[in-house]
Amino acid sequence: MKVSVAKCSQYSPEDAHIALQEVLAPFGGLVWVREGMTIGIKANLVTYFHPETAATTHPVLLCELIKMIRSRGADVILGDSPGGLYNHFYVNRIYSATGMKSAEAAGAKLNQDFSAKQASFPEAKAATTFTYTGWLDNVDAIINFAKLKTHGMIGMSAAAKNMFGVVPGTTKPEYHYRFPNTESFSDMIVDLDEYFKPRISIIDAVVGMEGNGPTAGTPRHIGAIAASESPHALDLVCAKIIGISSENVPTLQAAIKRNLCPSTIGELEIIGDVEQFCIPDFKLVDGARSLQFNSGAKSKFGKFTGKVLKRFLASVPKLHAAECIGCAECARICPAKAITMKKRKPVIARDQCIRCFCCQEFCPKGAMKVHRPWIARKLE
């Protein structure tokens, strides 16, 4: 399995163009793009944040890719289903905030088809049926253009997780409930990657997000772009760059178990020097190194012990009240209905919380953080 990495120091059209050509070259560039095709670019447009916040795929990179595809005579549709509503008004507001109007000027159509379709995928491990965004039926191939960020629930958001954006935003909470633990949720993500099989996945790691990601963290310069035909192989390299063990990225573990990815980076064919981009002190989400409990326990005692440990040692969302503006977005988005607003502050019913970290991901002020209990930190 091949992964390519190239230097891209800044978001300038010239640097972006050179880096994209370099990372795509080992896969034959874009020779597979033919005149008359329609290529879908699945970007990461998680919410209405400006590109400088490093929450979304940067428009300069997207523009250069769009121009490269258009020069081969193909059309481009760019889209994503962010968290929240999936309709014309909401998504177009996100296009504006994330700089996607420049992608339109570069020759892409911004997706305006907000239909939802049903898929049946009997070979799936978890998502044998699911709802997806209908615009993907209108494209001949998908390019998965993700952003490298930390993530509250699964440690890292990169290529594999980006494909969760094929699920309409309004139905995403239901998926957290249907796949309530990290293992089943990760299996579902890998199923989506397998079903849609992006032709190539690219990572925007020019500036990534560290800390309280994937929306409220801090931008961190990395200076790289990477690509692979396998989103999981690409994620293995991304994990190395930000210094998170693949064991603490459940989507990677799910892919490794299915032989979709080797378990170590040494088994990959890497084109480019990854080491120069590795950041040893990249700040991970608190809890991304958390201990695994009850994995595979079969006996009643083992399961009971696992549950008890999980309850006391697992990371949980925690409010930093001083940063909270009382907007109630967390209560609205919580799939488990575990949050109630009291005196304009969210209160979490711990016994109802399924630790999906949607409240942390979609808090507009970053007031909800991932909290790892003191004892878990000590035990680590």
Residues binding ligand SF4 (CB under 6 A): 317, 319, 324-330, 334, 336, 338-339, 346, 348, 353-359, 363, 365, 367-368
Task: Tell me the closest approach of the beta carbon of residue 93 to ligand SF4, in angstroms.
Answer: 18
Give the β-pairing of 339-342 and 75-79. unpaired
Q: What's phi and psi for 55, nearest 5 deg?
A: -90, -20
Four-residue CA torsion sign, 170, 101, 144, 117: positive
Q: Which is nearer to ligand SF4, 30 or 368 (CB)?
A: 368
Task: Tell me the closest approach of the beta carbon of residue 224 to ligand SF4, in angstroms.
Answer: 31
Q: Do 175 and 188 form a contact (C-beta atoms < 8 A)?
A: yes
Task: Tell me the closest approach of the beta carbon of residue 365 to ligand SF4, in angstroms.
Answer: 4
Q: Which is nearer to ligand SF4, 58 or 149 (CB)?
A: 149
Q: Which is nearer to ligand SF4, 82 or 346 (CB)?
A: 346
DSSP string, 69-118: HHTTT-EEEEE---SS--SHHHHHHHHHHTTTHHHHHTTPEEP----EEE
Task: Tell me the closest approach of the beta carbon of residue 371 to ligand SF4, in angstroms.
Answer: 11
Task: Tell me the closest approach of the beta carbon of residue 324 to ligand SF4, in angstroms.
Answer: 3
Q: Which is nearer to ligand SF4, 25 or 325 (CB)?
A: 325
Give the β-pairing of 2-7 and 269-271. parallel
E-assigned strand segments in 96-217? 109-110, 116-120, 129-133, 141-151, 155-157, 200-210
CA distance to 260, 325, 327, 328, 344, per residue, from 341 (Å): 43, 12, 9, 7, 6
Q: Which is nearer to ligand SF4, 258 or 320 (CB)?
A: 320
Task: Tell me the closest approach of the beta carbon of residue 119 to ligand SF4, in angstroms.
Answer: 25
Q: Which is nearer to ligand SF4, 84 or 317 (CB)?
A: 317
Q: Which is nearer to ligand SF4, 12 or 352 (CB)?
A: 352
Task: Name 40's bridge partners.
Answer: 77, 142
In the three-class reduction of DSSP (H, G, I as helix; E, B as strand; rest coil), residue 161 is classed as helix
Distance separating alpha carbons of residues 150 and 370, to the nearest angstrom = 11
- Name which of 202, 227, 232, 217 is nearest 282 in CA terms: 217
Task: Tell me the closest approach of the beta carbon of residue 2 to ligand SF4, in angstroms.
Answer: 37
